[in-house]
Amino acid sequence: MLKVEKVTVAYGRATALREVSLVVNDGEIVTLIGANGAGKTTLLNAVSGGIPLKSGAIWLDAHKLSGLPLHKTVRLGLGYVPEGRQIFGAMSVMDNLTMGSYSLCAQNRLSALGYIGWFIRRPSVQSNLELVFRLFPILRERLNQHAGSLSGGEQQMLAIGRALMSSPRMLLLDEPSLGLAPTLVREILKLLARLRDEGLTILLIEQDATAALKIADRGYVMERGRITIEGTARELLGDDRVRQAYLGKAVA
Ligand code: ATP
């Protein structure tokens, strides 16, 4: 589904990605592993459209993503859950979810005034909302609350829910467990596995590499802007280099 071909990205003179290539197949969870500064977030931003490529190309099925801005990649089927969640704290939970479906509205070229009526009637928006509430029942209870007043775990659920509102085929997640208690981390990762089982394709950056590999199908290790190791999740969990550098002693 996603193909990254020899992508190089630079911030001024500093090269952050050097000829990075990877694929994510339909229905897979693929995880990116690497130390701070390895280039994982830059890669996700390059895919979602946040930063221009110096060279290389990115494809989502037959669509060339390279050079497209974020709002266009969302319309092509990418859902992005950025690092630090970036929810709209002063807006209600419902308004945050509504914002997530805006790309569906923009596709129909509606004016802002026509939007609310369209939103309420649109079957895909309703079914996306039902999906979000089924996955995160707590959000239904918090619907009119300011998003900024939610707990860290609830905010992460909202960030994922907001991304699901655009009917994505593929979800990009940047460290969804950041700042969450271990039980919540497990809950969020279990949920990602469930979404994959329901047909969503996922590219995941996760600081808890062991937990990520336990739900992933495949993974890539990044070091200083390059892919250095790739394999199935099982292969990476058993790879001595990966175990020593990224998995600690927790892996049996
Ligand atoms: P982390 O886990 O800390 O987020 P990462 O693997 O996601 O790390 P990136 O954030 O992609 O790594 O950073 C890759 C390199 O690019 C680092 O050397 C970083 O300092 C640099 N970098 C990232 N963003 C910028 C920026 N906006 N301007 C300049 N350099 C940047």
The CATH number of the domain holding residue 182 is: 3.40.50.300
**Crossing angle between the packed helical segments 123-135 and 152-164, to the nearest 10 degrees:** 150
Q: Are 208 and 31 in contact (CB under 8 A)?
A: no
Same domain, 121 and 246: no
Domain boundary among 168, 185, 205: 168
Strands 29-34 and 55-60, how do they pair? unpaired
**pLDDT tens per residue, range 200-225:** 999 999 989 999 999 999 999 999 99
Measured in Å, how far apart are the chain's first and last C-alpha atoms? Answer: 33
Q: Which residue range forms the structural domain that includes residue 203?
A: 1-77+170-252
30 domain-assigned:
yes
Asked if residue 95 and residue 48 are part of one domain, the reply reads no
The Cα-based distances of 12 to 15, 53, 54 in angstroms read 8, 12, 10
Whether residue 82 has its Cβ less than 6 Å from ligand 1: no
Higher pLDDT, 216 or 153: 216
What contacts 117, CB < 8 A, 6 or more positions away? Answer: none
Are the C-beta atoms of residues 114 and 60 closer than 8 Å to each other?
no
71 shares its domain with 115: no
Task: Give the number of the atom of ligand 1 that is nearest the alpha carbon of residue 222.
Answer: 6
Residue 251 and residue 185 share a domain = yes
pTM confidence score: 0.89
In the chain, the number of structural domains is 2
Q: What are phi and psi of 172, to 5 degrees?
A: -110, 125
Which DSSP state fits 92?
B
Longest dimension (CA), the chain: 58
Residue 29 forms part of a structural domain: yes
User: Mean pLDDT score of the chain, rounded to an integer?
Assistant: 88
Ligand 1 mutation pick, 8, 15, 41, max ligand atoms within 8 A of CB:
41
pLDDT for 40 equals 97
Helix then strand then coil, in percent of the chain rounded to 5, is 45, 25, 30
Does residue 83 form part of some domain? Answer: no
In contact, 66 and 49? CB cutoff 8 Å:
no
Do 139 and 180 lie in a common domain? no
Q: Are residues 161 and 175 in the same domain?
A: no
Distance, CA of 155 to CA of 188 (rounded, Å): 12
Predicted confidence (pLDDT) per residue in 53-63, tens digit:
999 999 999 99
CB-count exposure of residue 152 (10 Å: 0-12, 13-18, 19+): middle
Q: Whose CA is nearest to atom 28 of ligand 1?
A: 11
**Is 148 among the domain residues?**
yes
Are residue 123 and residue 183 in the same domain, yes or no?
no
Q: What is the pLDDT of residues 72-94, one digit of tens each?
A: 898 899 999 988 878 898 999 99
Where among 168, 201, 228 does a domain terminate?
168
Q: What is the pLDDT of residue 245?
A: 86
Domain identity same for 160 and 48: no
Rg (CA), the chain: 18
Provide mean pLDDT across the span 188-201: 93
Tell me whether residue 85 is in a domain. Answer: no
Q: Are residues 243 and 123 in the same domain?
A: no
Q: Please indicate whether residue 16, judged by its CB atom, sits closer than 6 Å to ligand 1.
A: yes
84 located within any domain: no
From CA 62, how far away is CA 74, in angstroms rounded? 15
Beta carbons within 10 angstroms of residue 121's beta carbon:
9
Give the tokens for residue 89: 């704290």
Distance 20 CA to ligand 1 centre (A): 15
What is the Å distance from ligand 1's center to 252 Cα? 31
- Same domain flag for 181 and 243: yes
* Ligand 1 mean position, distance from CA 42 (Å): 6
Please report, for residues 17, 36, 82, the alpha-carbon distance to residue 40 in angstroms, rounded to integers and kept in the order given.
9, 8, 12
Ligand 1 centroid – CA 133 distance (Å): 34
105 shares its domain with 32: no
pLDDT of residue 252: 47
Residue 182 Cβ inside 6 Å of ligand 1? The answer reads no
Domain boundary among 114, 136, 168: 168
Instruction: Answer whether residue 121 shows pLDDT above 70.
Output: no
Residue 138 located in a structural domain: yes
16 CA to middle of ligand 1, Å? 7
- Does the beta carbon of 219 sit less than 6 angstroms from any atom of ligand 1? no
Find out whether the beta carbon of 39 lies less than 6 Å from any atom of ligand 1: yes
* Residues written for the chain: 252
Position 21 in a domain: yes
82 CA from centroid of ligand 1 (Å):
14
Which residue puts its alpha carbon closest to atom 16 of ligand 1? 16
Amino acid 39 reads G
Do 120 and 187 belong together in one domain? no
How would residue 145 be classed by pLDDT, with cut points 50, 70 and 90? very high
DSSP classification of residue 110: -
Q: Which residue has the higher pLDDT, 180 or 144?
A: 144
